[in-house]
Structure 1
Amino acid sequence: MKVISLLALAGSAAAFAPTAQQGRASTSVAAFEKEVGVTAPLGLWDPLKLIQDGNQEKFDALRERELKHGRVSMLAVVGYLTTAAGIRFPGAENIPDGLASWQALLDTRDGQNVLMQMLAFFAVAEIVNRDADWLDNKAEFVGDYRNGALDFGWDKLDEATKLRKRTIELNQGRAAMMGIWGLVTHEVMGNSILPGGYLPGH
């Protein structure tokens, strides 16, 4: 836990480095300054120097992972807060919220069935949510898994609106990653950050 705290502290400190030090990035990295998600106040934030070589394929792979983790984290925060509010699926009324739910699901045959269904869903989502190379279409951007089948009005939007919406999704995903991390960390520490001092799993 101390190592994680030190890494987080080091990463935070890099955000406040003087501009002269940050300006030493190679010219190949400067191309990433125009990528979606490079927003104030951090701009292009790469404290671990993962993209210093200017490799576009590596950047795209990292962006795809960032999007996936952000999307999963948005669902996780909603699920965590929904169960903390007392809402349950029918038949799961006795399952506790928070981290205690995992053990409760493992302890019963019905709970194990739920976990198996979750695992099957994760596998199918992982397979389906990727660019289908065998189809005669090309993804518009990294993380575009519509595969020519879904639109919901996206293709009617102008480029500026698309860029804004993609930036919003990235930033909301980043906030959700920090949000679920914070919720779980506070639960483990035994400190409630929810209204009324409620502490899930306790």
Structure 2
Amino acid sequence: INPTFIMSLKIATIAAALTGAAAFAPSNGMKNVAKSSSALKMGFEKEIGAQPPLGFWDPLKILEGESAERFAELREYEVKHGRVAQLAVLGHILTTAGARWPGTYDLAGHTWSSVPTGLKAFSTLPAGGLAQIFLFIGVMEMGYSVRKDEIAANCEERMTKAGWSDAKKDSKRAIELNNGRAAMMGIWGLVTHELIDGNPYVLNSLLGAPVDFNAGF
């Protein structure tokens, strides 16, 4: 295996792990929402994320008449799902490009290189392995719930020490929200097209650069 490829894979994995840990850290902007009103009903047209081209978009009226606490709760879900979706898209692209860990993933000697990309991987990995993944996610969630306020304060302190103004903090939060929203749509599109015809990168095909998805599996 090319050493350069292995090093690139390690760097990408470390970056993904750091992002994965951040997925369980709260968005500090949510604390500001909760502080603004703990009981009063309010509109949310000027909150972070209500930005062009759609502005405040709530076609199902989920937030109509809701409190600031409920908004903060839903925003936390949105940020977390967006972060996880960004990891999912990154993982999909890396594995489609052929990135795999070296060696085996179980005592039977099955290699990582034998695991396909996308939904097909779930039918290849043993149930015990998938259970370990979900158990690890659960442990992370439990740990986060215990240290939630501490993590939020630490994130805020780091941004302040970096010299970020309130405007810059809000700008970065808005960027993160948009990236997360795009990633949620992205991974949904990849999964949908894989289920339709096994070609998640349909856009590449339309542009004349098709991806030979899961070739050899």
**Change in CA separation of 1:123 and 1:66 when aligned onto 2, cut-off 3 Å:** same
For 1:180, the aligned partner's letter is: I
- 1:18-71 CA-to-partner distances (Å, cap 9, x unmatched) read xxxxxxxxxx553x1121111101111001100111421211111111111111
The match for 1:198 is: 212
**Change in CA separation of 1:152 and 1:98 when aligned onto 2, cut-off 3 Å:** farther
CA distance in 1, matches of 2:157, 2:142: 22
CA distance in 1, matches of 2:143, 2:56: 30
1:196 is displaced (CA, Å) by 2.8
The match for 1:189 is: 196
The match for 1:53 is: 65
For 1:146, the aligned partner's letter is: I
Any stretches of 5+ residues in structure 2 without a counterpart? 1-40, 105-111
- 1:95-153 CA-to-partner distances (Å, cap 9, x unmatched) read 111111001002xxxxx4532331222112212334736xxxxx5xxxxx724445684
CA distance in 2, matches of 1:150, 1:40: 27
Give TM-score, length-normalised by structure 2. 0.65
Aligned length: 159
Any stretches of 5+ residues in structure 1 without a counterpart? 1-27, 107-111, 134-138, 140-144
The match for 1:96 is: 116
Q: Give the RMSD, CA atoms, in angstroms.
A: 2.3
Question: 2:141 aligned with 1:126, yes or no?
Answer: yes
CA distance in 2, matches of 1:163, 1:103: 42
CA distance in 2, matches of 1:54, 1:152: 30
Secondary structure, in 3 states, of the residue corresponding to 2:124? helix
CA distance in 2, matches of 1:61, 1:147: 14
1:78 is displaced (CA, Å) by 0.5
Secondary structure, in 3 states, of the residue corresponding to 2:45? helix
Q: Percent identity?
A: 42
Whether the aligned pair in 2 keeps the contact of 1:74 and 1:177 (CA below 8 Å) is yes
CA distance in 1, matches of 2:195, 2:69: 38
CA distance in 2, matches of 1:131, 1:177: 27
**Change in CA separation of 1:163 and 1:182 when aligned onto 2, cut-off 3 Å:** same
Equivalent runs, 1:108-127 vs 2, <5 Å: 112-127=127-142
